[in-house]
Amino acid sequence: MLDQKLIREDPTFVEKKLSRRGKTFELSNLHQLTLKIKETDIELSNLQSESKKLSKLIGEIYQQNNDSAPDDFNKMKDQANNLKAKISNLEIKKRDLNKEILNELLKLPNFPSDKSPSGNDESQNVEIKKWGNPTIVNNQKSHWEIGENLNLFDSKRSSKISKSRFITLIGDGARLERALINFMLDTHFKKGYLELIPPALVNSDSLQGSGQLPKFSNESFKCSDDDLWLSPTAEVPLTAFHKDEIIDINKLPLKYVAYSPCFRREAGSYGKDTKGLIRLHQFNKVELYWFSDPKDSSEAHKKLTSDAEDILKKLELPYRVIDICSGDLGFSSSRTFDLEVWLPSSKMYREISSCSNCLDFQARRSSIRTKIDKKSLFLHTLNGSGLAIGRTMAAILENGQQKDGSVKIPDALIPYFGSSLIKSN
């Protein structure tokens, strides 16, 4: 969430910063609301001060002999009651204004970083680097063809269980998923991450705090009888884990790694990636999450991205790093590095992790602070997949496919999977 004070003092600056997202943001109404709340605060403070002085005077008179009470004592009491009524009305006005301002603020995305490349859409994202040697061979099978041939997963029967875009992992497919989860968790744990397994159901406040609500309500599954939603990513509960807390500066950075099932409607994506493991309604993910001292978050962003990259390197999967342009940034992100893994069947790179620095945007929405020199300030939060499990499996199947139809398991994963090959039964 953006700083209300900044919008009140310099709305033109805020509009200009937000315009780098390729859209026009009109803040005149919100600006007026912030001025009104400021005026209301000043008026309320003055009336409360006046009321406090008058109440004290009345109290002193009560303690004296009633015969010595001034002639206008009753007028003083009437004045005190009038002040209390005005204060009550102003408090209601302030509460209504705060609610209106919050509703407007929650709709505004984060500022793009000045370091993010300028652009309107993904075509203007900038490639930073590549790693590994992409395999380019004609007639390579897609991961879903490999999976079907090796009986690793079943989507047709899964649609009978639930609906389309759900999948049941079978045999070596289920074993490979489990191996990847444990491998990723162990790798990140050795780098100093504290492992969490958060709830899969989250409340509306949690989704609002991380930036999914109100904008992306149509992307999540809601439980109709409760204020609970199926979590679209562990980023949501990990942000909320320290909601309304003041974290000791000496404990920063806090680095968490969490495995979680994720649930997304994928609204607006129908017709895209309908086969295989790329765009499912339910998928597993290992998430990396940092709470950082604001002065360190730029370096923390590079480190978090490097930790996600390390998984791809250990699994010997070719990938590239993309600096996301200002117009393609996620709602809560100020700067994002996407990791895209090579999929030979389509001869292209596909996103497997988005590593984002959200600055104080989520911390302000969730009231997560620290204190530096006795001054309270919002932390910076960072997140990234480390990695998305289904997409990692798809990349392993395609990059490891052999001429005889088997799939070679990366050396680093063999101790977890228990074999160097997946063969047809």
pLDDT digits (tens, 9 = 90+) for 111-167: 999 999 999 999 999 999 999 999 888 889 999 999 999 999 999 999 999 999 999
User: Residue 117 domain-assigned?
Assistant: no
Q: Please report the pLDDT score of residue 222 as a whole number.
A: 95
Same domain (yes/no): 401, 323: yes
Q: Please report the pLDDT score of residue 293 as a whole number.
A: 97
Q: Please report the pLDDT score of residue 270 as a whole number.
A: 58
User: Residue 113 domain-assigned?
Assistant: no
Structural domain total, the chain: 2
The yes-or-no verdict on residue 377 having pLDDT over 60 is yes
Same domain (yes/no): 139, 74: no
pLDDT digits (tens, 9 = 90+) for 278-328: 999 999 999 999 999 999 999 999 999 999 999 999 999 999 999 999 999
**Complete DSSP assignment for 349-404:** EEEEEEEEE-TTHHHHHHT-EEEETTEEEE-EEEEEEEEEHHHHHHHHHHHTB-TT
Using CA atoms, how far apart are residues 220 and 216, in angstroms rounded to an integer? Answer: 7
Q: Token pair for residue 119?
A: 């652009």
Among 72, 105, 138, identify where a domain stops. 105
Using CA atoms, how far apart are residues 6 and 14, in angstroms rounded to an integer? Answer: 7
Q: Please report the pLDDT score of residue 57 as a whole number.
A: 86
User: Residue 114 domain-assigned?
Assistant: no
Average pLDDT, the chain: 94
Among 105, 135, 153, identify where a domain stops. 105
Same domain (yes/no): 175, 143: yes
Same domain (yes/no): 260, 381: yes
Using CA atoms, how far apart are residues 404 and 143, in angstroms rounded to an integer? Answer: 15
Q: Please report the pLDDT score of residue 72 as a whole number.
A: 75
Stretch (H or E) spanning 289: strand 282-292
Same domain (yes/no): 137, 56: no
Q: Please report the pLDDT score of residue 67 as a whole number.
A: 59
Q: List CB contacts of 39: < 8 A, sequence separation 6 or more.
A: none
User: Residue 314 domain-assigned?
Assistant: yes
Same domain (yes/no): 292, 402: yes
Using CA atoms, how far apart are residues 294 and 247, in angstroms rounded to an integer? Answer: 13
3-state secondary structure of 419: coil
Q: Please report the pLDDT score of residue 272 as a whole number.
A: 67
**Complete DSSP assignment for 124-188:** G-EEEEEES-----TTPPPHHHHHHHTT-EESHHHHHHS-TT--EE-THHHHHHHHHHHHHHHHH
What pLDDT band is residue 65 in, cutting at 50, 70 and 90?
Answer: low
Q: Is the dihedral of CA 209, 211, 214, 220 positive or negative?
A: negative
Same domain (yes/no): 146, 184: yes
3-state secondary structure of 313: helix
User: Residue 110 domain-assigned?
Assistant: no
What is the pLDDT averaged over residues 234-239? Answer: 98
Same domain (yes/no): 179, 97: no
Using CA atoms, how far apart are residues 386 and 396, in angstroms rounded to an integer? Answer: 15
DSSP code, position 246:
B
What is the pLDDT averaged over residues 329-334? Answer: 98
Among 70, 105, 140, identify where a domain stops. 105
User: Residue 92 domain-assigned?
Assistant: yes
Same domain (yes/no): 94, 126: no
CATH code, domain carrying 77 = 1.10.287
The boundaries of the domain holding residue 65 are: 4-105
pLDDT digits (tens, 9 = 90+) for 5-63: 999 999 999 999 999 999 999 999 999 999 999 999 999 999 999 999 998 888 888 77
CATH code, domain carrying 129 = 3.30.930.10
Q: Token pair for residue 29?
A: 């109404």
Same domain (yes/no): 246, 374: yes
Same domain (yes/no): 222, 275: yes
φ, ψ (nearest 5 deg) of residue 243? -55, 135
Residue 243 burial (10 A CB sphere; 0-12, 13-18, 19+): middle
pLDDT greater at residue 365 or residue 66: 365
User: Residue 235 domain-assigned?
Assistant: yes
Same domain (yes/no): 336, 378: yes
Q: Are 410 and 313 in contact (CB under 8 A)?
A: no
Q: Which of 136, 187, 147 is nearest to 412 (CA)?
A: 187
User: Residue 111 domain-assigned?
Assistant: no
